Every structure is written in structure tokens, then in C-alpha cells.
Structure 1
Amino acid sequence: MNDQQAEAIDFGELVQSDRVHTSLYRDPAIFDEEMERIFKNTWVWVGHTSEIPIKNSFVKSWVGDKPVIVTRDKEMKVHVLLNRCRHRAASICEQKSGKTSVFVCPYHGWSYALDGKLRAVPHSKVYGEDFDKEEFPLISLRTEIYNGMIFATFRDDIEPLDDFLGPAKKWIDLFMKQGAGYPVKVLGEHQFTFDGNWKIQLENTTDAYHFPIVHKTFLDSLDSETTNIFDVLGQGGWLEDLGNGHSVMVMIPDLVDLDENLDAPIPERFEALAQELREEGHDEDKVRRMVRAVGGGGFNLNLFPNVACSMAFFRVLRPVKVDQTEIRHIAIGMDGGPDAANRVRLRLHEHFQGPMGFGSPDDAEGWERVQRGSAAGDDLWILVNRGEQPLEGHAAGEHVTDVSAETGMRAAYDMWKKVMTA
């Protein structure tokens, strides 16, 4: 889309305080502008430090529609590099992750260190005496890390990551308590695509309203004790706008801070794990801390524009096309923790988020139905007006809304509007 076409779209009019226009799901021109105005102008999550644990390790990722490589060089410094040779634009890395001291372009053999510096060019004398390798490193993005979460941006003049995250940092810190005293690490992931716009998924992470309907089969698969815990609309939870498009949905207040309530009775479903940990020699305080952490926290944290800390896993979205989105569900566990605890975390992840689980297929079906249904009225609006009024006298404060409110969606679209009209 050229500049004149972009100027013809009034992005500000497409987002109202209580609704957004259907074209946000369907217009390829809007999608193209989102890749430029949002994903090249905000902090975008690209990975977790546990994915590059040692020097010369790397993992592939994306910033919007731009392929990148997240690396840790020989000095242990983290870099985010565009996955594109400076010579003729071939991708230099096709392996998902691994360890190497150099990336070699398979087309003409230009090689790069993990900090992006161009190391060698075959037959470089043909370029002439003026050729300077220092002028052609891999393009490096500005990179900052908060509590193991790696973010990158194309903008050198953007606000610091700490400022962008703001109040969300408190919730990231709470989420990372799932390590139960150990560092949090990535255990594995489940990846899939759905035929729908990326913002449909962005909305979903703080949408408790759908949970008892879409996920009824999941709830039916649980014992009565666990079903009561997942009564997300009846536990006194709340939704909170954290600024800059971020939001948090607290579904199980008792599980917000995993360092608290350690004297509570161990749930029946975790008694076997507790006993196994005791038999391995862990003291009772540590056993209770690990058992309380294995089920995850009681909230979903949405970080604009592409990642969520969702109860017990990372959910990462990647826009592919206006009507196609890639999703990564990344299981996390305790780095150096007992195998038994990490095994239980993986089994719980598989139960809901795995490819044969109850959550992912039902969610994806809902997201695709939204995309299909949006074709039945290009001039209609998507409502995000549920629960606009703050809760009175709530323990979390006077600014929070009902757990089933659409506050998180309004927060994300407020940020969308701000960035798209900047």
C-alpha cells in the first residue's frame, strides 16, 4: 500500500470507545499498515532467555512479519538480528534453534558471528580495495530484557522497555514465581495456525466471558474440586487495564501470588506429586511451594502486541496474513527443579493447550468462526462494551472491572488507535 492509500484510511474512526470496525479483521491494507506502524514501532516479544542458555546459542523468531534470530554471543550478550544476508537477502538460518559459532549464508558463503558482524566473504578481492566488511553486518534490533523475557524493536528512539511495560512488570514478576525458587525455563511448545486475524486472538486472552461456554468439555473432564477452582466467573476475580495496551485478567485470586497460602491443604490431584517430592528428600516447605506452583498462576497477563503470560504458559501470536495467524503455546517449568514437578506441568499443559487437549482446538474453532462471520457485514461493528463501569468496593481497587468485562480488549484497541494514528 502506498502513502496515499494509507492516508485515505481514517484509522482513528475505526476504533470507538465501545466498538471497533469489522474492517480491522478483514482489510489487507489495514493489515499491511499494522505491520509497519505497530510491529515496527513497539516492543515485540521474541523469546525467553532459557531458549539461549549458553554462549553461541540461538533461536529463530519473528517481529511481526520480519524473520529474526535471537542469539547469545561468546560474551553472553543477547542480540536480535534480521534473518537476512546483507549480500542478496537469503535467509542465513533455517534451523529452529541450536548452537553455532557462525552463520554461513548458503547462497554465496558470506559468514556472520552471533553478534551480527560480517566475518568472511569468499573471493572478496573482486569487490575491490574499498570493500569494508564492517559496513555490512546483519541488521541488529534494539534489544532489552525483563525477567527473562526478551523484547526487540526497530526503533532506536523508543521508550525504555521498563517504561513500556509499566504496571505489567508486577504481574510478570508474579508469573515467574512458577519456578518455585528455581529459574523459569521453556520446556517445549505446541505451534499451529488458524484462519483468522491476529487481533481476534489478542482479544481472547482476557476474555473470561467465553470460558464456561467454549471450554465446557474441558470443565467436564475435571474432578469436582478442580472444576470449582476453574469457576472463573464466580471467584471474585477482576480485569485491569495496565496501560500501553497491556491488561490482566485475574480468574483465581487465591493463586495470584504463589508464595502465599503455603499452609493450605494440598489438592487431592497433587497428593501423589507431593509424596514423590518428599521421597526425593525435599523438605515440606519446598514441597508445598512446588506443588502450589505446578498448576500455574491464577491470571492471564496480556502484553501488547504479541505475547501473553497465560496462567501456566506463554502464548505468542504472529500475524501471517490479514486472515491467518500463527500461535505458539510455550510450556514452562523449573530450571534445575525436580523431574517430577516438570512432568506434572507438561501433563497439565497437554490436557488443556496441547494439540490433543481440550483448550486449543476449541479456541481455534471460535477464532475462525469470528473471521468467517465477519464476512457477513463489512459495515457492522465489533462490540467491546461489556463491563465498562468499575466495580465498587472491590478489594483490588476502585479502577478494576468485572472478570467477564471486555476491558482488556478496550485497552488493546486504545493502544492500537494510538499507534496507528501517531
Structure 2
Amino acid sequence: MSIDFTPDNIYDLAPSDLVQPSKVAGRMYIDPDIFEREIKDIFERTWVWVAHESEIPAAGNFKSTHVGRQPVIVVRDRRGAINTLLNRCRHRGASVCEQRTGKANGFTCPYHAWSYSLDGKLRGIPYPEGYEGVMTKDGMGLRKLRTEAYCGMVFATFDDDAEPLEDFLGDAKPWMDRFFKQGGGYPLKVLGTHRFKFHGNWKIQLENTTDGYHFPIVHRSWMASVDSETADMMSFMNDPAATTHDLGNGHSVAQMVPEHSDLDADDGSEPLQERFNDLVAELKSQGLSEAQVRRLVRAMHGTGFNLNLFPNVSMSISFLRVLRPISVDETYIEHVALGPDGPPEIVDPVNRERMRVHEHFQGPFGFGTPDDAEGWDRVQRGAIGGPDLPIMVNRGIGRETRAEQGWPTSHVTDETGMRSAYTKWKEMMSDV
């Protein structure tokens, strides 16, 4: 039974009632109590993306990040295992690492010099005499989160009873496999990260990744700035093959360029773009075959789809977009550029060109991200008016069908992906 939102009932409804089949309440963007529930019931209960394995390639390599609002360190230990450790000394609570990335033999609190090994165990306490008969080092290591990985993507959770990561990812896994084919036969690595904040609720960005409806409107300046081949490739509004699938568990995928969904499926008929002619010549000069060159260059724009993984990371065509909730109306975003990891004489020119493509859309002076961020800001400013007024997520609901895999599916401009995310949100925010 659908519930109507009214000024009289909107603050009496339970959070899970704020999600209805075709709409969600504007209150979800502006209520700080709901935000606190989200941190507890979503970000501290499910699998949250924390790193790509290429960021921590060897023992001692680490990355500082967050799970929800809690600071963590993702580090590879001497046995090769990846640990996610709460960045909080067990003595008096000070952070033990303030560097964003680096390499270390362990972590030492700057306040009283308690020291910890790469797997989080407490290994040293200065002047231990005061603890004789009071406390031992056993059980006083850095708190360790459960950590698992798939396709080089590292996730962590505070919930020791959470389902296995691969079960949580479910039908998103084949799409992750396809995404990582864009290395052109080489593994992918992180090339760099662009970070910024916007003044809006985290769910506004979550909605954006599989929202094909906004693309030709918000990104018309980008479409006007690229060559005609790229513009034609991204003109998917009337392409019936361009679809969005609800993959379950809040995950969804939007196929903007279906012919690039699986980069191994190449019949050779698609010409390489002329803008990459110099790169083609450079790669051929290194002795690569026509097939090898084609594989690398054809993947220059990425995979042709946006894969949204609930709740905090998307594998967006050629890069990762990571969100971190700060407050009810502020969200931190990371855009992570990716490229092949191989012989420098081959991958360096490829990655140089991939970075230029990345900067043109995602960069702070690009034609894409600033326009997106302005839209997100405006949604937050508007949502303050009328918290009972619904946010509509009903586009395409009347033409949604089932793919052969059983996925709810509609056109890429429809809001199937948003409905998927909010179904999971409703489940996790339920009082039952």
C-alpha cells in the first residue's frame, strides 16, 4: 500500500516508509536524524569500498580513508594480507596515521608512542612498568574490520556477521569483470585521484551514476567540446539497446554504449577514432601488433557502462567515483583515474592519453564534473523546500521488463537504478 506524504505526517513516518515504489520523500535529504541512522544502519553494517589493490601493492603500503565517518587505514602486511584498521590508538584515541598514502613498518601514536604492527597488533608500550598487573598487550591492537576483495576492489565492513562480499556483490560481479578488461590485456592500476566536496546529501550523488536522463541536458557543453565520433558514441537517448539493469542488493548498471559493454567482443568493424592516430603510431613503433594496438586504443574511453555498487562506489565507464557522507548536507567525492599497468614504453603513452580524457570530463576544469556538482548542490537547496514533497523516481516504471537473467530492466534514461538503490536503502533502514 502506497503512503502519501503530507506536511502533517512527514516527520512522523518511519524512515523506511519514506521510500515508496515510485517516489521518495524530500525529508530523506535534509533530516539529520535520518543521516545518523544511515551511518549506523548502512555504512557501518554493509560492505564499503576502501581501496584498489594497486594502491597497496607491497608490504607496508597503506592508504588512509573512511568507512562511513570512521577513519581507517588500509594496509598490506608482511604476509601479503590486506588489513583495514581503525585509525585510532587504543590508549587515548589519537589517530596513528595522518598521511593519505605511504609506506611504513608499522604505526606509532604520536601522543604516547604506543606502536602497532602492520596487522594491527600492539607491539610496544613505552615505560611499561605502570601497566604491570593492570593490562597486557593482548587484545589491545588496533580494531580490525572484516576485509575482502573481488577483482582487485577491496571492501571492508564493521559487521563480522555480514554476508560474504561475493554474495553481496551478486550479479554485479560479471560487470566488474568486464570493467577491468579496459586494461587492454594488462591489469589496471590507479593513476591518480581528484577530490572535492559538494553541499548535498550523499544519496543525490548515488542517484546520479545510473541517471542517463540528465546526460544530454547537463553535459551539453561537454558534448559540444568533443569530436563528432565521441559525441555520436554518447548519443544514447533514442537507442533502444541502451538499458539500465537492477542487479539486486542496491547495485545497478547503465549501459550507455552497449557495443562497448564487453571489450573482448570486437568484430573489427568499428574504426579507431582519428584523435588517437598519434598514439596508434607510437604503439606500433614499439612493435605491438594491430590487434594489441586496437585492444588498447578501443578501450581508451572505458567500458561503455556505469556500474553502481551500493552504497559508496561506482565503476563509471573508465574511472571510479567514490562517495563519503560527511553530514546530512555535505558529501566528499573522489574520482579515481585508472589505466593499464605494464611495460612503461607501452602503457605510459596510453595512460598519458587516458589522463587527458579523464581531465576533460572529470577534472576540476573539465566539462562534466563541475556541471554535475552544480546540479547536486541545487537539488539540496531545493529539497529544503517542502520536505513532504516527493522526489520522483518513477521514470520508466511502466515500461520496465525483466531481462533473461531476471533483472528489472528499462531504458538507460529511466530510473530503474535509483529504484534499486532505494529498495536496498529501505531494507537496511527498516525497524523490522
Structure 1 residue 119 and structure 2 residue 123: aligned? yes
2:244 aligned residue (239, 242, 246): 239
TM-score by length of 1: 0.96
Relative to structure 1, the CA distance from residue 393 to residue 64 in structure 2 (aligned partners, 3 Å threshold; closer, same or farther) is closer
Which residue is 1:300 aligned to? 306
DSSP-derived class of the 1:53 partner: coil
Deviation at residue 391 of structure 1 after TM alignment: 5.5
Which residue is 1:170 aligned to? 174
Q: Deviations over 1:177-208 (max 9, x none)?
A: 01111111000010000000000000000000
Which residue is 1:260 aligned to? 265
1:407 aligned residue (413, 416, 424): 416
Q: Deviations over 1:98-130 (max 9, x none)?
A: 100010101110010110000101111111234
* One-letter code aligned to 2:159: R
Structure 1 residue 387 and structure 2 residue 393: aligned? no
* One-letter code aligned to 1:175: F
* Residue identity (%): 55
Between Structure 1 and Structure 2, how many residues are aligned?
416
Deviation at residue 12 of structure 1 after TM alignment: 2.1
Cα RMSD between the aligned structures? 1.6
Deviation at residue 244 of structure 1 after TM alignment: 0.3
Structure 1 residue 151 and structure 2 residue 155: aligned? yes
Deviation at residue 393 of structure 1 after TM alignment: 9.9
* One-letter code aligned to 2:316: S
**Where in structure 2 are there 5+ consecutive unaligned residues?**
1-10
> Mean alpha-carbon deviation: is it higher for 263-272 or for 96-105?
263-272
Deviation at residue 314 of structure 1 after TM alignment: 0.2
Which residue is 1:3 aligned to? none
Q: Deviations over 1:123-174 (max 9, x none)?
A: 1111123421122000000000000000001111111001100000010000
Which residue is 2:144 aligned to? 140
CA contact (8 A) 1:262 1:289 kept: no
1:356 aligned residue (365, 376, 399): 365
2:297 aligned residue (270, 291, 294): 291
DSSP-derived class of the 1:81 partner: strand
CA contact (8 A) 1:59 1:69 kept: yes
* One-letter code aligned to 1:344: E
CA contact (8 A) 1:67 1:82 kept: yes
Deviation at residue 232 of structure 1 after TM alignment: 2.5
* One-letter code aligned to 1:329: H
2:194 aligned residue (187, 190, 193): 190
* One-letter code aligned to 2:131: Y
> Which 4+ residue blocks in structure 1 deviate beyond 6 angstroms?
392-398
CA distance in 1, matches of 2:423, 2:294: 41
TM-score by length of 2: 0.94
Relative to structure 1, the CA distance from residue 397 to residue 291 in structure 2 (aligned partners, 3 Å threshold; closer, same or farther) is farther
CA contact (8 A) 1:390 1:399 kept: no
Structure 1 residue 332 and structure 2 residue 338: aligned? yes
Which residue is 1:317 aligned to? 323
Q: Deviations over 1:382-416 (max 9, x none)?
A: 10000013457989988420110001111000000
Relative to structure 1, the CA distance from residue 184 to residue 398 in structure 2 (aligned partners, 3 Å threshold; closer, same or farther) is closer
**Where in structure 1 are there 5+ consecutive unaligned residues?**
1-6
